[in-house]
Structure 1
Amino acid sequence: MDYLDSLRLFVRVVERGSFTAAAADHGIPRSTATEAIRHLETRLGVRLLDRTTRHVAATPDGEHYYQRCLAILADLDDAEAMLRDSEPHGLLRVDAPGLLTRTFILPALPSFLERHPRIEVQFGQSDRLVDLVREGVDCAIRVGDPVDSSLVMRRLGTIKEVTVASPDYLARHGVPKSIVELDGHQMVGFLSSRTGEVLPLEFNVAGTLREVRLPMRASANHSDTTADLARRGFGLIQAPRYRFANDLAEGRLVEVLADCPPSPMPLSALYSRARQSAPRLRVFLDFVAEVFRAADL
């Protein structure tokens, strides 16, 4: 087995958590797979995998090597695809907020996969910052202004934000008619993954952006949790309108201060310069751009 085949086998062992399953995927005996990984570990001088009778998992060194192998193998596949001018193919790893993915991308995904039957899409879903190269991610879809200037950005649109609170909260604290009436109110705190600090509320008042920080009894670093805190009456919250569309329609939350809304947030796809020529990424970016152009953001 040559070196590249060993790398592909190693990646599959990590993903499947099993020598037997990975060997079957590659059409080789389990003993051949075990011996190939042993030679790879000897070549590198490190232990890449922890082996038990029930499961195989990457060591810390193995996890780092796995992420780099993903990037290397993806680059090789892309280079071959460009030379062959072949149909886009391969595994595409996308990191995007879960609700955004479920609301807009997944309903349209069958048509994309039908147009490109040799592409497989794997979604990672988080609010945190992602190291695209180290973690083997082809692109990230993010709301807000990107901070990593080394990445290529493709703007997908802007997302309207709203200020909302639960009826129970407003019954206890009153409905503010302007930001000067926010004294005595509380907010649900959202902790930024970039700074670790709670983000302030924002209001556009007569063309001027005003930031307001209110007392809080609860905060979280995940948008699903902060949304649930708002539903449970912990305070005012600001988030994309699509997140609370059903809550607003069904009365679980009420919009306040609609005449001084937060600024719309940019929606972008981010990817490394090393990935921008990959055919599968190019067609996916065109697909999500089309999806968000047609969406009610």
Structure 2
Amino acid sequence: MDSLGALNAFVQAAETRSFTAAGRQLGVSSSAIGKAVARLEERLGVTLFHRSTRAITLTPEGGLFLERCRRIFCEIEAAELELSQTRAEPRGTLRVSLPLVGMLMMPSLSAFMRIWPAIELDLDFTDRLVDVIEEGFDAVIRTGEVSDSRLMTRTLGTFGYKLVGAPAYFSERGIPATPAELATHRCLRHRYPSTRKLEDWPLSDEASTIEVPTTAVSSAIEPLLDLAERGLGIACLPDFAVRDRIAEGTLVGVLDDAVRHTGAFRILWPSSRHLSPKLRVFVDFIAEHAFVGPS
């Protein structure tokens, strides 16, 4: 068991790239993590980390050893999961980070809670790029490509974008027949909260050079939805965010052929962990109910 404890200290330090963060994860001091790794290095006769005053990085030997240790802990987790899956239902706290636009998933999340009452959802809504491992999340839901080799991923669904406005707005200002006519309209823009840059409207190649005017800016989707429904301009929003409103007639889509971009929602979790029963049912439910292909 002492050996497993040292291996766990090494894996946590390698994944967080910090003795301090590893100690926080395991509830011990950074000094204890450093000593455990040093004893492991002495026993193995190799250096596992390059150390500096600012960070630790794996040596080539440390990288090889990390992969083997991950497989060891995966096998242990698999054995534990086989036993846990014999229980009546998945249970426990599930800590998930979602983007702010994920608030539009609340009906699906509420339905999940009714079906799986023994699972406690701990939801963190933020557009900040969180560190899944260091911050202790079971999983994160995000858009865009995945570049962290420490994470496993599954695509939940794809989405497109739609240009929308209220019927009253188009009655007053007219419906744009071409992308170029957007220059004469009131446009409601989204700003990335992390970079403070305006999000470009994903117009087709021939329309991509059009300068879209800005009437109002928001770092969240909900205010843009509200402004568009109140007839204050045209917004470019994910199709799943406006689908119900279009069906109800409070918003109308325009220039569908001029919008080309499609994105994907993905759920990510640490590669050293198997999907637990609670995470597996969450992933399956959200993939089925929250996102469908571009409309």
TM-score where L is the length of structure 2: 0.61
SS at match of 2:154: strand
**2:159, 2:197 → 1: CA distance?**
22
Partner of 1:102: 106
Partner of 1:246: 244
Shift of 1:162: 1.0
Partner of 1:231: 229
**2:247, 2:111 → 1: CA distance?**
21
Partner of 1:20: none
**2:237, 2:186 → 1: CA distance?**
16
SS at match of 1:233: coil
Shift of 1:150: 4.4
TM-aligned CA distance change 1:276 to 1:197, over 3 Å: farther
Code of the residue aligned with 1:170 in structure 2: it is F
Shift of 1:157: 1.6
TM-aligned CA distance change 1:294 to 1:256, over 3 Å: closer
Shift of 1:141: 1.8
**1:272, 1:209 → 2: CA distance?**
40
**1:177, 1:251 → 2: CA distance?**
20
**1:108, 1:83 → 2: CA distance?**
21
**1:105, 1:169 → 2: CA distance?**
33
**1:209, 1:146 → 2: CA distance?**
29
TM-aligned CA distance change 1:127 to 1:235, over 3 Å: farther
**1:296, 1:202 → 2: CA distance?**
14
Partner of 2:95: 93
Judge which range, 143-152 or 177-186, deviates more. Answer: 143-152
User: Is contact 2:160–2:262 with CA below 8 Å preserved after alignment?
Assistant: yes
TM-aligned CA distance change 1:182 to 1:132, over 3 Å: same
**1:293, 1:227 → 2: CA distance?**
18
Moved over 6 A (4+): 293-297
Shift of 1:192: 1.2
TM-aligned CA distance change 1:146 to 1:234, over 3 Å: farther
SS at match of 1:85: helix
TM-score where L is the length of structure 1: 0.61
Matches within 5 A, 1:248-263: 248-263=246-261
User: Any idea what the Cα deviations from partners look like across 1:17-51, whole Å, max 9, x if unmatched?
Assistant: xxxxxxxxxxxxxxxxxxxxxxx99x89xxxxxxx
**1:140, 1:289 → 2: CA distance?**
14
SS at match of 2:223: helix
**1:275, 1:212 → 2: CA distance?**
46
TM-aligned CA distance change 1:183 to 1:139, over 3 Å: same
Code of the residue aligned with 1:238 in structure 2: it is C
Code of the residue aligned with 2:97 in structure 1: it is D
Structure 1 gap segments, 5+ residues each = 1-39, 45-74
Matches within 5 A, 1:170-181: 170-181=170-181
Shift of 1:283: 3.6
- 1:82 has 2:86 as partner: no
Matches within 5 A, 1:206-221: 210=208, 212-221=210-219
Code of the residue aligned with 1:233 in structure 2: it is G
Shift of 1:169: 3.3
**1:108, 1:211 → 2: CA distance?**
43
Judge which range, 257-266 or 121-130, deviates more. Answer: 121-130
**1:185, 1:264 → 2: CA distance?**
24
**1:194, 1:212 → 2: CA distance?**
25
TM-aligned CA distance change 1:211 to 1:283, over 3 Å: farther
SS at match of 1:107: helix
RMSD, matched Cα? 3.6
TM-aligned CA distance change 1:243 to 1:289, over 3 Å: closer
Structure 2 gap segments, 5+ residues each = 1-26, 31-72
Judge which range, 93-102 or 143-152, deviates more. Answer: 143-152
SS at match of 1:196: coil
